[in-house]
Amino acid sequence: MSITLNNIGKRFGNFAALDNINLEIPEGELVALLGPSGCGKTTLLRIIAGLEQADRGQVLLNGSDVTDQPVKNRQIGFVFQHYALFRHMTVFDNIAFGLRVKPRKERPSETKIQEKVHALLNLVQLDWLADRFPDQLSGGQRQRIALARALAVEPSVLLLDEPFGALDASVRKDLRLWLRHLHHELNVTSIFVTHDQEEAMEVASQIVVLNHGKIEQKGSPSEIYDSPNNDFVSRFIGHTNVFQLEKDDSSWLAGAGIIIDDPKGIVAHVRPHNIQVEKPQDPANSPVYLKDWQHLGAIIRLELSKDGTNGKATTIFAEMPNEQFRELALQKGDRLSLHIKHAHWFN
């Protein structure tokens, strides 16, 4: 089901949680609402679900206005941040709940419910937990049961609030991939909220970046990463080095490959992997030296220090593949020369 948001606005007292949000989500997408905490992403998700009312604007599901419909009539599945499993019910009863509360005419027979619940438990690969209570499950298991429970009512939209927020890192990695696969399998329009840009990049087909209640940018992960709309998006997605033409040593920047004769802005954002690190021909004259490095697996992140004209040192991050780092055989304190291959300019 497609989702359309028209001019959504929401205030909490004097604080504008959401300001004029317009968004179109086509059927079958897996969308991430990404932003720092307090940016209004969870509020937006809850407004789409009908758990909260917007002050202004409309929510359209499949073209029909559901703004005034309560959550139970919207045919949505909602997965809560802390799962909100019914702790007095077994896993089986949790998943069956949505089927059992249907009006008598629509309610499936008990054998149908049994079949359906076991099918869902198999889908989330936890059939052996049917008789357990939520308190006896691990975080990752609870998460998957919450998802199975939401799917039981065959929602046309699936909404997930920080679905991996409360899980430890390794479980989170597995579940991200699993959610992506599940989405391929079911193809139900899904929106999830996250503050983790890596998670959004890894799972979503579309990312909506929010800040201060406004949409900063919307697009595929590569669009967002490769051509950020503005300063905020560029800083928020991935690592970036920020050079300010006025403050930074502009002759050094020019030497490092940035064209400053006709700059397209006053601030240059450079991704660490867009900085090429070389051994300089004249080490004594290079203002940059290697302070430290971090081993991130396939790549090495170099922490470089550049002496400023005013005596203040700035830190620059650069990244290179493991092999290249080994070939260069760098030591801490080595002088280096940098070549900037690509920069984003903002005002």
Closest approach, Cβ 161 to another protein, in A, equals 9
Radius of gyration of the chain (CA): 25
Verify binding: residue 78, another protein, rule CB under 8 A: yes
Verify binding: residue 76, another protein, rule CB under 8 A: yes
* The binder of another protein chosen from 14, 104, 111, 135 (CB under 8 A): 135
Query: Closest CB to another protein among 42 and 241?
Result: 42
* The binder of another protein chosen from 15, 68, 70, 220 (CB under 8 A): 70
Verify binding: residue 84, another protein, rule CB under 8 A: yes
Please list every residue from 233 through 292 that binds another protein, using CB under 8 A.
none
C-alpha–C-alpha distance, residues 275 and 252, integer Å: 14
Residue with tokens 């593949």: 321
Kindly give the residue spans of alpha helices, DSSP state H, lying in the chain.
Answer: 41-49, 91-100, 110-123, 139-151, 169-186, 197-203, 221-226, 231-236, 250-255, 322-328
Residue with tokens 């080595």: 334
Closest approach, Cβ 154 to another protein, in A, equals 11
* The binder of another protein chosen from 23, 32, 39, 152 (CB under 8 A): 152
At 185, give phi and psi (nearest 5°): -70, -45
86 three-class SS: coil
Verify binding: residue 133, another protein, rule CB under 8 A: yes
**Structure-block tokens of residue 152:** 């039981």
Verify binding: residue 295, another protein, rule CB under 8 A: no
Q: What is the helix (H) or strand (E) element at residue 49, kind and residue range?
A: helix 41-49
C-alpha–C-alpha distance, residues 248 and 301, integer Å: 22
C-alpha–C-alpha distance, residues 68 and 46, integer Å: 14
Among 293, 292, 297, 281, smallest CA distance to 336 is for: 281
* The binder of another protein chosen from 89, 123, 299, 313 (CB under 8 A): 89
Verify binding: residue 149, another protein, rule CB under 8 A: yes
Q: Using N-to-C axis directions, what is the helix angle for 169-186 and 139-151, rounded to 10°?
A: 20
Verify binding: residue 163, another protein, rule CB under 8 A: no
* The binder of another protein chosen from 22, 68, 72, 309 (CB under 8 A): 72
* The binder of another protein chosen from 150, 267, 288, 320 (CB under 8 A): 150
Which range binds another protein by CB under 8 A, 55-63, 148-156, 201-209, 286-294? 148-156
At 12, give phi and psi (nearest 5°): -115, 100
Closest approach, Cβ 48 to another protein, in A, equals 11
**Cβ-based neighbour number of residue 275 at 10 Å:** 23
Intra-chain end-to-end CA distance of the chain, in Å: 39
Which range binds another protein by CB under 8 A, 15-23, 57-65, 130-138, 214-222? 130-138
Residues binding another protein: number (CB under 8 A): 28
Query: Closest CB to another protein among 97 and 178?
Result: 97
Closest approach, Cβ 153 to another protein, in A, equals 6
CA distances to 91, 116, 144 from 113, in Å: 13, 5, 19
Can you give the binding site for another protein, defined by CB under 8 A?
A: 49, 51, 70-72, 76-78, 80, 82, 84-90, 97-98, 101-102, 133-135, 149-150, 152-153
